């Protein structure tokens, strides 16, 4: 974001909004429709919230968000219950609108301070009055159901989802810190990009269209795994009339049904925990399942069972390569169970994809994925069954693997350097084998 930000002023005043829906595990009802109370006068004029720039001498950014006046924009139907006051009677609605207008990833609020938006990773304060402790309590009572407010008082925090309209949802954590209220609200997007927009190879489409088995995306937090899986699921969504069920913590992308029917379940919102959601999964008649992070034995057992019974299972796991993924999986189980898991994996694994996002040389491309792709075939299966998974790293460098569109991580780095997407220095900092990468890069001249 440049230091001199644009001022956005709509041509006409926004209409009163239908009350957005919010829900939690307790499933309370949406609020009654009411008029929007605008924020108090700010530097940009009545009804505007301006952003104070952190850079000296820069112009403030006026935030005037558009509000839908059509009830058809409301996307979530909450369970019947006692109705609460409209959140737009407080400044809460205005703060959410500001985050939508400037495509902020998060809204951060703290008692007696000015709300802040996280834009491209940096927190930027809004040019508005601080939210007092008393006003924060009023906002909490307007947004939460009676049960959720009791949970806040009892446990010190409460999670809930807030559907502003059909395409925008917020995952909200309202919590106490040093006796005062704070909020962290993550904006959930429905903008799911295609493979070509993410610079992902065509083989990802082939992997996405597998009829069954297990597909794992590997990498650290923030490596773009969820974005890639979203692209894969939406690719299927556009092409196959199947039932897709996701179990997520939290939901990061909102899908719109196309050819497929998609049900997204969020831990802490739609179900209490992964354990309960996994038990219910088989009764939900899915064809494709996303189980999120493979963080424990029970989750992976459920994934293996789903794959064995004919489902296609997507998941993520923290690993530094496709081959290390095997040891991470085996580490979840007791030693006497590993051989059985190995045999199931040998036949049910479809692909492991390791991904890392790297800074680019192009101003319009912030980061680009470097991939390592291991696809199951007779050679890979034989290595797994013979407990020689570690040797697959050498197989990935073979002509046979390359002709099957597999690749090791250094292959991706060389390709990105050759196409002038990344600097050679970035490649050298990212490689697991610097000597080998140096030799490959020398061949480029």
Residue 441 lies in a domain: no
> What's the whole-number mean pLDDT along residues 181-206?
93
> What's the whole-number mean pLDDT along residues 233-259?
94
Count of other CB atoms within 10 angstroms of residue 189: 16
Q: How far is Cα of residue 374 from the mean position of the Cα atoms in its chain?
A: 24
- CA dist., res. 332 & res. 155, Å (int): 31
pLDDT at 346 over 50: yes
Residue 2 lies in a domain: no
Q: Please report the pLDDT score of residue 82 as a whole number.
A: 36
Domain residues for the domain of 331 are: 196-407
Q: Tell me the pLDDT band of 198, cut-offs 50, 70 and 90.
A: very high
The domain spanning residue 257 has which CATH number? 3.40.50.300
- CA dist., res. 186 & res. 193, Å (int): 19
Which residues, in sequence order, are bridge partners of residue 288?
244, 312
- CA dist., res. 50 & res. 62, Å (int): 4
Indicate if 310 and 337 belong to the same structural domain. Answer: yes
- CA dist., res. 388 & res. 390, Å (int): 5
pLDDT at 69 over 60: no
Q: Which of 19-33, 88-102, 258-272, 374-388 has the highest mean pLDDT?
A: 374-388
Q: Please report the pLDDT score of residue 244 as a whole number.
A: 98
Domain boundary residue among 188, 221, 237? 188
Indicate if 265 and 344 belong to the same structural domain. Answer: yes
Domain boundary residue among 130, 157, 188? 188
pLDDT, tens only, 265-289: 988 778 888 889 988 998 999 999 9
Number of domains in the chain: 2
The DSSP symbol for 426 reads: H
The domain spanning residue 57 has which CATH number? 3.30.450.90
Indicate if 180 and 205 belong to the same structural domain. Answer: no
Q: Tell me the pLDDT band of 381, cut-offs 50, 70 and 90.
A: very high
């Amino acid at each position: 974001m440049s230091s001199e930000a644009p001022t956005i002023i709509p041509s006409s005043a926004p209409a009163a909004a239908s009350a957005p829906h919010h829900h939690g595990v307790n499933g309370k009802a949406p609020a009654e429709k009411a008029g929007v109370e605008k924020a108090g006068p700010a530097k940009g004029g009545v009804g505007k919230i301006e952003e104070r720039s952190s850079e000296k001498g820069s112009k403030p950014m006026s935030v005037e968000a558009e509000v839908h006046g059509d009830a058809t924009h409301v996307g979530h139907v909450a369970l019947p219950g006692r109705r609460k006051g409209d959140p737009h009677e407080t400044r809460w609605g205005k703060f959410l609108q500001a985050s939508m207008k400037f495509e902020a990833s998060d809204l951060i609020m703290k008692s007696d301070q000015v709300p802040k938006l996280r834009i491209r990773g940096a927190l930027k304060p809004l040019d508005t009055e601080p939210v007092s402790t008393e006003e924060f309590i009023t906002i909490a009572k307007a947004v939460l159901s009676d049960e959720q407010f009791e949970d806040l008082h009892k446990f010190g925090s409460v999670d809930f989802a807030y559907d502003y309209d059909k395409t925008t949802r917020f995952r909200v954590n309202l919590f106490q810190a040093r006796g005062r209220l704070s909020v962290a609200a993550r904006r959930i997007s429905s903008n799911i990009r295609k493979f070509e927009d993410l610079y992902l190879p065509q083989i990802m489409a082939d992997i996405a269209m597998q009829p069954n088995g297990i597909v794992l995306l590997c990498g650290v937090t923030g490596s773009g795994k969820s974005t890639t899986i979203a692209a894969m699921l939406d690719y299927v969504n556009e092409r196959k009339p199947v039932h897709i069920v996701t179990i997520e913590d939290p939901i990061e992308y909102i899908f719109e049904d196309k050819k497929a029917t998609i049900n997204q379940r969020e831990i802490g919102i739609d179900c209490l925990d992964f354990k309960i959601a996994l038990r219910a999964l088989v009764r939900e008649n899915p064809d494709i399942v996303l189980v999120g992070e493979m963080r424990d034995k029970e989750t992976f057992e459920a994934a293996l069972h789903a794959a064995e019974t004919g489902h296609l299972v997507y998941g993520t796991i923290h690993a530094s390569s496709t081959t290390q993924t095997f040891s991470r999986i085996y580490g979840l189980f007791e030693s006497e169970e590993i051989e059985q898991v190995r045999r199931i994996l040998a036949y049910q694994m479809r692909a492991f994809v390791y991904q890392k996002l790297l800074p680019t040389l192009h101003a319009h491309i912030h980061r680009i994925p470097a991939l390592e792709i291991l696809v199951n075939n007779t050679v890979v299966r034989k290595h797994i069954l013979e407990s020689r998974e570690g040797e697959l790293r050498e197989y990935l460098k073979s002509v046979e693997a390359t002709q099957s569109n597999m690749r090791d991580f250094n292959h991706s780095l060389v390709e990105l350097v050759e196409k002038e997407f990344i600097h050679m220095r970035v490649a050298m900092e990212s490689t697991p084998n610097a000597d080998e990468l140096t030799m490959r890069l020398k061949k480029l001249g």
